[in-house]
Structure 1
Amino acid sequence: MNDNLRMQLTRGAIAVGIFVAGLVVGWAIRNDGSNPARISVYKDWQLSCPADEDKKGSCVLATTIVDQGQRLGQVSIGTEASDLSKHAMVVNLPLTVLIPPGFGIQIGSDTKSIPYSTCLPSGCVGTFTMDDKVLDELDSASSVGTTVTAPDGRSVTLPISVQGYKEAAKAMRSAEARRRSWWWRLWS
C-alpha cells in the first residue's frame, strides 16, 4: 500500500471516530435525565405536560372561568386515563349552583348537557368525553360558555375564553404525538 492511500484511510478512520464520539456524547447529553415537566402559556390557556419519561402521564390544557374579574371555576382538557386516544373535558364550577339540572357547555350555538359527577370543597365537577366533532367545534369556535343553574332557578352563562385555545390545542396534539411515538421512545 502506498503512503498516499494509507494517509487517506487514516484520515477517514479519524473522521469516522470523531463522528461516532460526537454521536455518543450527544446521546449521553440528551439522555441525562433532565427532561422536566413543561408548562406553556397560550394567552388564556395553559398547557402542562409531564416529563417524557412519565409514560402514563399526559398533557392537560386548562383555563380559568372568570366573570366580572372574579375567578369562578376551571376547565381542563386532557386524555382519558382508561383510553389515551380519547379526550375528556373536566369542568369545576362554584358550589353555588343547583346540582340536579347539571350544567351545559355551549360551543357556538350548540349546547351539551352534562351531569355533575361530584362536589368537592373547591366546587362541583362534571366530566364528559369529547369526540372529534366536539374538538373540531372547539378549534373553530368564536365563543364558548358554561351554563349553570343559580340557586334561584335562573340560568346563568359563564364565559370560557377561546383566546389561545387553538394554538394550545395544536401544541398539545403535537406534544402528545411526540410522547407516544415509538421513534421518540427509541431515542429517549
Structure 2
Amino acid sequence: MARVPNVLRAVDGTLIKILAPSKNEQSYVCKKGFLALNVQAVADSSLRFTDLVCKWPGAVYDRFIFNESGLNTYLSGVCNGWLLGDPGYPLKPYLMTPISNPQSQAECNYKSAHCRTRVVVERAFGVLKSRFRCLNPTGGVLPFALPKSLKAIVACFKLHNKCINDGVPNPDIEFEEDVHDINVNADLPPNPAGHQIRQRLVQRFQ
C-alpha cells in the first residue's frame, strides 16, 4: 500500500447516527454532538473491510476501542507488518501513527506517505456510506432500536464487501470531516518499541 512498506491495512472509526438508546444515552453522544455508534473497521487497498468492531457508544475514544479489540490482541502476538492509524490511535510496534509535529524532511516525508496510505480506510467508509445512505449522516438516523441497528450496520458492511468482490462499480463518494481524538494520547506513557520502529521507518524517507 503506497510508499509505506510492510503495511497490512489501515484502521479507523466512523460515527453512525442512531436513535436514543433505552439506557446510558449520554455515552452515545459523540464528539460531533449527536447520538451515534463509534464503529471501528480495517480496510485494505481494494476498499474491502477485513475487520469490524460494532458495539461501542459514540463517546468512546478510538484508542480505547482498538485496545479492547481482538485485533489488538492478535497483532500483539503476530507482528509481521503494521496497521496505519490516525492520531487518535496509540503508537504500537504493529500500529504506526503519524508524527504530530515533524521536525525534519524525513519526518515530513513519512507523515505525507502515511496520510496517502491511510486514506484507503476513509475512502472505504465513503464508498460504504454512499452505497448505503442509511449509514450516511445525510440519510438521517437508523430507524431501529439499538440491537437491530447493530445488525443492520454489520449487514451493510458485509454487503459492501460482496459488492467489491463482485466488481460492482463504486459510487461517487463524499469524504466526511475527520475529527480526530485530539490529545487523548497526550497523558499516556510513550511506547518505546513502537517509537523505535517508527523512527526506523522515518529513516527510509530521508
For the aligned pair, the TM-score class normalised by the smaller chain equals: under 0.3
TM-score of the superposed pair, with normalisation by structure 2: 0.25
More contact order relative to length (CA 8 Å, sep ≥ 6):
2
Give the number of the structure whose residues are more often helix, by fraction.
2
TM-score of the superposed pair, with normalisation by structure 1: 0.27
